[in-house]
Structure 1
Amino acid sequence: MDKPVILLDLEADHTTLAFINQNKVNFTTILDKGYRSFIQSLREKYGLSETTCWRLLENLFEAREIDASDVVIYIEQQEERRVEISQKELAEAILPKVRSWIADINAGCANILDSVQARYVLTGQGADIPVLKQYLHTFNAPASIYSVTTIGARSGANVVNLGLIYALVDINKMHNKDTISVNNNELEESIESITRYAKDQEGGFTRKLKKAVLSTKE
């Protein structure tokens, strides 16, 4: 990567952020908000299953509530009521949540972008949400969605895992090792360390990202 990259792995309950500079991961942190937050109000209002909400999310293509029509796009007969959702109702339930997530990313990464010219690359299962393509211009730096076919993955949900496998293969070659899995003791120690750090007063999303600026300057 010739320029600094802020990698956003959007998953169900969280977003993993990795700041990559000069082909090295300088900093990583987690925002406790994923694409499940996009459909939370939809589930609560209409009593829909998560699978149904995800399917509706995959079929939301309008990025502005005003452009969505009143045409009913989903009907479900529940035990005590009949649920009908129009394109406009779907947009009104989801789009504010999407904009809120982007606002959190922008606020958290502002300090990094004040110091270096970086770009966002969005990946993970959430990267498959079609409407996100229309919101790329609302990030506070150039943003793009990673093309999963470039490493053989069919879904954004597989990109990170497949990328880690490729990285492990490369590392093994450099160190002349044949490691195929993580050491359990090292994994447990790492998880405990992350948990302790997350509970620390400096564990806030924005505060942690400020440290990335310092490491970049160094």
Structure 2
Amino acid sequence: MLIGIIFILLFVLASGGQMCFNKFYQQNVENTLVSHYIYLLVMSFLAAICYYILADFNLQIDTMSFIYALMACLVIVACQILTLICMANVNLTMVTVSTNAGNLLWPTLFGMIFLNEKISTTTIIGIVFILLAFFVPFIFNYNEIKNDKTTKIGYIICILLFLVSGHVNSINKLFTLSNSSTSNSSYLSWINIIMFPLVLLVFVFL
């Protein structure tokens, strides 16, 4: 139990750190789709190398794990692009809340519906609070959203980010339950290996 809590805290810190780096990048680089894709290219390349090293230079993967990696890659790319675009239009807090709300809600529902996981009262209370944190700004900033085009676009993208976030966790859960011979590091490495040419392909056709 204690180890689980520690890993959750580390995950939260890592996610928060990533958001801060994303915002820092947004503030110091010209906000264009090209800059977004360059950011993703560099990130996927470095991540693939790191996971490749952690996998002891072994990239063995079975067919089902490759499919999971491909699905996870597509979701991650979508989330990252939406996050970067969103940060250019709304504040970091709103982006973080949108991401965390999706990360909490969708995997929880997935686990309940498809994996028959039991959900505690604490989890339900947490979901309620984070959903309130997500929807309340829309209510209080309604006039600004209605009258300002940039703000309106930002909040629309926040909604899309909320809808997309979290699904990669569900995919990763399916991978862990698949009893695959593929190691976690190899699986994560393949996600980023797939991501690199995918983002590069989109970048070329910009």
The bucket for the TM-score relative to the shorter chain is: under 0.3
* TM-score w.r.t. length of structure 1: 0.26
Higher relative CO (Cα under 8 Å, sequence separation at least 6) belongs to 2
* TM-score w.r.t. length of structure 2: 0.27
Write 1 or 2 for the structure with the bigger share of helix: 2
Write 1 or 2 for the structure with the bigger share of strand: 1
